[in-house]
Amino acid sequence: MWSYLWSWPYVLSGQMDEAHMEEFDLVAEKQATIEKELMELKQDLDLKKDVGEIIVVLESIRAKF
């Protein structure tokens, strides 16, 4: 994840060659993909927590009757 950081001085100075630029782009794409997947996993986890809370409430209501 942090391997691309070494490239920044070259990017800023305009000395980055094509191979390094392609590598930088690939790493950036992978990072974006990982961040998207992480967000989806967090949303799934939140949904499962919500469903779990609903089940607890329904079970407590059912226990009262």
Report how far apart the first and last C-alpha atoms of the chain are (Å, whole number): 54
Q: Indicate the average pLDDT of the chain.
A: 84
The full DSSP string for 3-64 is GGGGGHHHHHHT---HHHHHHHHHHHHHHHHHHHHHHHHHHHHHHHHHHHHHHHHHHHHHHH
4 pLDDT above the threshold of 60? no
Query: Which residue do the tokens 């790493």 mark?
Result: 27
Is there a contact between 43 and 52 (Cβ–Cβ < 8 Å)? Answer: no
Q: Does pTM surpass 0.75? A: no
Which pLDDT band holds residue 1 (cuts at 50, 70, 90)? very low
